[in-house]
């Protein structure tokens, strides 16, 4: 019999990981909405939710057929590769080989680009509300 003692840690870890992703997505929506306009931000958020729902409906049952050992190996390998890449960049930044991020400069550059896109937007980009 499976109890909460066995499943609890996995459920809590999955919930917290999903919560982190939710906060990241919400941050992007708020940033785009405040700079570019709420119509664009909410349209993108809605499209993302719909795409995810379609993927779950289409691929949901097929994921049960995947061999769990192969999935674990694939996910573990990808996590190791991404982690090694981030570690390499962190070491290069710490030694001064590559410059540290200037978040204020990045924010100003992206904000300026988004505001210019509002002025010179393409036809397929909805106008800000």
b/e per residue, 31-44, with b = 16+ CB within 10 A?
A: ebbebbbeebbeeb
Cα atoms in the Cβ-side hemisphere of radius 13 Å centred on 109: 6
CB 35 within 8 A of CB 114: yes
129 in a domain, yes or no? no
Q: Is the pLDDT of residue 27 over 70?
A: yes
Is the domain of 20 the same as that of 55?
yes
* Whether residue 61 is found in the same domain as residue 90: no
Which of the four pLDDT bands, split at 50, 70 and 90, describes residue 40? confident
Q: What is the mean pLDDT of the chain?
A: 86
Residues 32 and 47 in one domain: yes
Q: Which domain holds residue 111?
A: 66-124
For the chain, the straight-line distance linking the first and the last C-alpha, in angstroms and rounded, comes to: 54
59 and 89 fall within a common domain: no
Q: Considering its fold, how many domains does the chain have in total?
A: 2
pLDDT of residue 121: 55
Across the range 64-79, mean pLDDT stands at 91
pLDDT tens track for 76-113: 999 999 999 999 999 999 999 988 888 899 888 888 88
Q: Give the integer Cα–Cα distance in Å for 45 and 76.
A: 29
Q: Is 1 part of any domain?
A: no
Q: What pLDDT is attached to residue 100?
A: 85
Pair 55, 100 in one domain: no
Is residue 17 one of the residues assigned to a domain? Answer: yes
């Amino acid at each position: 019999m499976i109890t909460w003692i066995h499943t609890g840690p996995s459920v809590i870890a999955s919930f917290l990981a999903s919560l982190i992703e939710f906060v990241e997505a919400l941050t992007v929506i708020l940033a785009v909405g405040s700079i570019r306009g709420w119509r664009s931000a909410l349209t993108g958020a809605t499209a993302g939710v719909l795409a995810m729902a379609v993927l779950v409906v289409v691929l949901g049952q097929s994921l049960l057929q995947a061999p769990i050992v192969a999935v674990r190996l694939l996910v573990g390998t990808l996590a190791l590769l991404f982690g090694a890449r981030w570690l390499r960049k962190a070491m290069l930044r710490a030694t001064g080989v590559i410059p540290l991020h200037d978040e204020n400069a990045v924010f100003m550059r992206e904000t300026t680009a988004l505001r210019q896109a509002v002025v010179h937007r393409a036809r397929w980009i909805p106008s800000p509300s």
